[in-house]
Amino acid sequence: MRFRNLMNLSTLEKACTIAFAVMLLLTQMSFSQAANVHNGSCPSLGKTATIGGVKFICMKSGKKQIWSKAPSTPSMSVIDQKLESISDTIKIKMKSATSAVDLSLNVDPKLTNSQWSKDSIASIPSALKLLSALGVKPVNQMKVYISWGGGFKNQFTPTYCQSPSGGGLCGQTGIIFADLKWFADNWGYGGVEAPYKWEMDDFSIKANLPHEIGHYGQEESAAGVGNTDYWKYDPGWLREGVAEYFKLLSSAYDRNVSYKKLHDMYLKNSGSQRCAKYSLLDMSSDNFNSDGCEYSKGLYAAELLVSKTGRVESIFDMERTIGTDTASIFKKTYGFSLESFCKEVDAYFVQITANQK
């Protein structure tokens, strides 16, 4: 806004000019705030605005996007400190932990001299220690198949578990597989194993089996209480986010680095910002397609869950709770509603991804 020079105006002219300027300023403020009024429509999910000194976040409400008061979320530094403290505590438990898993390890003969295969195998002991430290008491044998292409693993896996993938756990069988050729085909290696091109490639292949062992922890936690239907009620973000959190914890111990170091590397390389358009509550619905965001946004949801409960063991509590619908099982398990937690995660997610900008 440009103001006129008032030095040579009459008193009346000065008064009129000032009054006009004030009215114009108030009008602009009114228009600006009208677009951001509480419960008013907003442009894109995850966008934030401060209105009258109060922070609001663009959230989904039914089929509409509205401005909603941002939930009170601890500062990033507080959450980071809490997660690091929890990670340090579980590392101490892992040092003295003894695995109770009955492990059958099977490697494709094509991988005899494979460094990727050796790296995959080397990641297993820490993941098994983490299972033990979290109090998981296995019911089923763990059968791991490391394959170069589908030919080897498909001899031992159910038909429903044979679609192309870098890794997987075949539901309620204890069977885990890693297909290293999938990475070579899909990550720019031209179908051939080679030295890792990027730090994230190194991490992802080494942490591939720990992710699947995290799923094994979910299954065995459910099996321990006879909760065979648990998979019907676990939201995709909880299922995959917990497995991602498990692999970061396991890898932090295995590499002797801080949890924050791996969190930051993951954040930098995961492309998480694209997930702002999906609210976690929507992602909790059956058959909701979140374009892979159940992994990255799910990880941050798992982090906030652990931060709120103060217990790493809480990542498997949902599977240990028997019920007939997701929302009531979640409330029974954690003591707070799924809806309120999802809003907190959406706000936490905005804080986290702001660091990528």
Q: Give a yes or no: residue 6 inside a domain.
A: no
Q: Do 343 and 274 reside in the same domain of the chain? A: yes
Q: What is the domain range of residue 54? A: 11-69
Q: Give a yes or no: residue 295 inside a domain.
A: yes
Domain edge (last residue) among 23, 46, 69: 69
Q: Give a yes or no: residue 31 inside a domain.
A: yes
Going from the C-alpha of 236 to that of each of 281, 295, 302, 342, the distances in angstroms are 11, 8, 12, 13
pLDDT digits (tens, 9 = 90+) for 292-321: 999 999 999 999 999 999 999 999 999 999
Q: Do 329 and 256 reside in the same domain of the chain? A: yes
Domain edge (last residue) among 69, 87, 118: 69
Q: Do 140 and 201 reside in the same domain of the chain? A: yes
pLDDT reported for residue 72: 61
Going from the C-alpha of 309 to that of each of 28, 199, 302, 320, the distances in angstroms are 45, 32, 11, 16
Separation CA 207–CA 205 (nearest Å): 5
Q: Do 43 and 176 reside in the same domain of the chain? A: no
Separation CA 158–CA 149 (nearest Å): 16
Q: Give a yes or no: residue 299 inside a domain.
A: yes
> How many domains does the chain fold into?
2
Q: Do 86 and 51 reside in the same domain of the chain? A: no
pLDDT digits (tens, 9 = 90+) for 221-239: 999 999 999 999 999 999 9
**Residues forming beta bridges with residue 41, ordered by sequence position:** 66
pLDDT digits (tens, 9 = 90+) for 260-304: 999 999 999 988 888 989 999 999 998 888 889 999 999 999 999
pTM of the model: 0.81
Contact 148, 180 (CB under 8 A): yes
Domain edge (last residue) among 40, 69, 98: 69
Q: Do 89 and 43 reside in the same domain of the chain? A: no
**What contacts 229, CB < 8 A, 6 or more positions away?**
none
Name the token pair of 226.
Answer: 């006879």
Contact 220, 139 (CB under 8 A): yes
- The edge-to-edge listing of strands for the beta sheet with 175-179 is 103-107, 142-147, 175-179, 167-170
Q: Give a yes or no: residue 183 inside a domain.
A: yes
pLDDT reported for residue 273: 86
DSSP category for residue 140: S
Contact 234, 318 (CB under 8 A): yes
Contact 230, 273 (CB under 8 A): no
